[in-house]
Structure 1
Amino acid sequence: MSSPLTIAPREGRDQAMLEASRAVIGLFLRERTSDFSVKELAAHAGLSERTFYRYFPRKEDAIRPAVDASLARIVSDLRAAPRGKTLREALADALSRSLAEESSMNWENLLSVLNETESLRAVWLQILTDAEVALAHVAAEWLGISPDSQRARLAGAVLATAGRLALEQPFFAGRKRDPGEVLSECLALLGPALFEEPAGGHRTVRRSPPR
Structure 2
Amino acid sequence: MTDEVSPPARTRTGRPPRSEQQKGELRTRVAHEAVRLFAQRGVTATTGEAIASAAGISVRTLWRHFPSKESCVRPFLDEALTGAAELLRHWPADTSLVDFLRQCYAAGVITPPGDELLTVLALMHREPALRTVWLEVHEDALPVFAELLAARWGASARSLEVRVHAATLNGALRAAVEEYERDADPREDPTACIFAHLDAALSAASRGFPT
Normalising by structure 2, report the TM-score: 0.72
Distance 1:63 1:103, change over 3 A: closer
Distance 2:20 2:110 in 1: 19
1:163 counterpart (173, 186, 204): 173
Aligned twin of 2:205: 190
Structure 1 residue 121: Cα displacement = 2.6
1:17 counterpart (16, 19, 27): 27
Contact persistence 1:70–1:98 (CA under 8 A)? no
Contact persistence 2:98–2:199 (CA under 8 A)? yes
Distance 1:32 1:89 in 2: 42
Aligned twin of 1:4: none
Q: Secondary structure at the match of 2:205?
A: coil
**1:63-108: CA deviations, max 9, x gaps?**
22232122112211211344453233445648x85541x422343x
Distance 2:63 2:91 in 1: 38
Contact persistence 1:56–1:62 (CA under 8 A)? yes
Structure 2: runs of 5 or more not aligned: 1-18
**1:150-201: CA deviations, max 9, x gaps?**
111111111111111111222323544521221111111123579xxxxxxx
Structure 1: runs of 5 or more not aligned: 1-8, 195-211
Distance 1:174 1:62, change over 3 A: closer
Q: Secondary structure at the match of 1:105?
A: helix
Distance 1:137 1:10, change over 3 A: same
Which structure has more RCO (C-alpha within 8 Å, separation ≥ 6)?
Answer: 1
Contact persistence 2:180–2:197 (CA under 8 A)? no
Aligned twin of 2:71: 61
Matches within 5 A, 1:45-194: 45-90=55-100, 93=104, 97-100=109-112, 102-107=113-118, 109-175=119-185, 176=188, 177-191=192-206
Greater radius of gyration (CA): 2
Contact persistence 1:20–1:62 (CA under 8 A)? yes
**1:27-48: CA deviations, max 9, x gaps?**
435x383231112211222222
Identity %: 25
Q: Secondary structure at the match of 1:80?
A: coil
Normalising by structure 1, report the TM-score: 0.72
CA-based RMSD of the aligned residues comes to 2.9
Task: Name the aligned partner's letter for residue 177 of structure 2.
Answer: L
